[in-house]
C-alpha cells in the first residue's frame, strides 16, 4: 500500500517529470507537427496539379503516413530545421541536397513498395529517403559515394533507430550485388543513362525510379519496369532537377 506521504510526493514529482520530458529532445519533435501537416497538404496539392504527367491522382496513404512519421528536420544541417518541411530542396553539404518533399513522395509512390520488399537506394545523402523507405519495406540497402555524407547518414540512421537500413560507402552506379535482386530501386541523383548493373539487379516485376539527364539541361524522372520475362520498359514521368550522379 502506498502511504499518503508517498502519494503527496508522487503528485509533486509527476508534473516535474512531465516538464523535463516536454523540454527534452524526444518531445521536441512535436513542435514540428504543424509544419509536417502543411508539408503533407503541399504534397497533396502538387500531386493533384501534376496528375496528367504522373498518372498518380493521389499519393498512397502509406507513403504519406511515412512522411508524416519521419522527422525530416533531423536530416538537414543545423540552422535549417525550420525550413525542412518547405517544399524545396535544401543543401546538405558537398554539393548535395535533400530532395523536396513532393519529389520524395512521388518517387516513393512510383516504387509501389510492399512490406515484404527489399529495396536499393543509390545516393544516401542525409539518409532521409532511406528512412522513408524503411517504414515501408522489409529491408533497405543504401549506397553513398561521398564518404563523409555516408558516414554521417549511417550514424544518424542508427541514432534514430532505423534498423531496417544498411548503409555502405561506394559507387552506386554498380549497385549492391550481394543483396540483389531487388524488388525496387531508387536513384536520388541524375544519371546520364540508366545504369545497366541496376537493371540486372532488379527482380522481374520490379521497378526503378531514376532521374536521367545532364546537369543544367532538361532532366526527366523515369520509371523503369522489368516484366516477368525480363523485358524492360521505360516511362517518362515529368521534368526534374537533380544533382549529377557521381562516380562510375
So which residues are the catalytic ones? Answer: 99
Quote the CA–CA distance of 185 and 195 in Å, as a whole number.
11
SS (H, E, C) the chain: CCCHHHHHHHHHHHHHHHHHHHHCHHHHHHHHHHHHHHHHHHHHHHHHHCHHHHCCCCCCHHHHHHHHHCCHHHHCCCCCHHHCCCCCCEEEECCEEECCHHHHHHHHHHHCCCCCCEEEEECCCCCHHHHHHHCCCCEEEEEECCHHHHHHHHHHHHHCCCCCEEEEECCHHHCCHHHCCEEEEEECCEECCCCHHHHHCEEEEEEEEEEECCCCCCEEEEEEEECCCCCEEEEEEEEECCCECCCC
Amino acid at each position: 500500500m502506498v502511504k499518503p506521504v508517498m502519494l503527496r510526493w508522487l503528485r509533486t514529482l509527476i508534473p516535474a517529470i512531465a516538464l523535463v520530458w516536454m523540454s527534452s529532445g524526444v518531445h521536441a519533435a512535436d513542435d514540428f507537427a504543424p509544419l509536417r501537416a502543411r508539408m503533407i497538404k503541399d504534397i497533396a496539392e502538387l500531386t493533384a496539379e501534376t496528375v496528367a504527367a504522373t498518372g498518380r491522382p493521389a499519393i498512397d496513404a502509406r507513403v504519406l503516413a511515412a512522411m508524416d512519421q519521419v522527422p525530416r528536420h533531423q536530416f538537414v544541417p543545423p540552422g535549417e530545421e525550420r525550413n525542412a518541411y518547405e517544399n524545396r530542396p535544401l543543401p546538405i553539404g558537398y554539393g548535395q541536397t535533400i530532395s523536396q518533399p513532393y519529389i520524395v513522395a512521388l518517387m516513393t509512390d512510383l516504387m509501389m513498395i510492399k512490406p515484404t520488399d527489399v529495396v536499393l537506394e543509390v545516393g544516401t545523402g542525409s539518409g532521409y529517403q532511406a528512412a522513408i523507405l524503411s517504414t515501408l519495406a522489409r529491408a533497405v540497402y543504401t549506397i553513398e559515394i561521398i564518404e563523409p555524407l555516408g558516414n554521417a547518414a549511417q550514424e544518424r540512421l542508427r541514432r534514430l533507430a532505423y534498423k531496417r537500413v544498411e548503409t555502405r560507402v561506394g559507387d552506386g552506379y554498380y549497385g549492391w550485388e550481394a543483396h540483389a535482386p531487388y524488388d525496387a530501386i531508387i536513384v536520388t541523383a541524375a544519371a546520364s543513362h540508366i545504369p545497366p548493373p541496376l537493371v540486372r539487379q532488379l527482380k522481374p516485376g520490379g521497378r526503378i525510379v531514376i532521374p536521367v539527364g545532364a546537369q543544367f539541361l532538361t532532366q526527366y524522372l523515369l520509371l523503369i519496369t522489368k516484366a516477368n520475362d525480363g523485358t524492360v520498359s521505360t516511362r517518362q514521368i515529368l521534368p526534374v532537377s537533380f544533382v549529377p550522379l557521381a562516380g562510375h
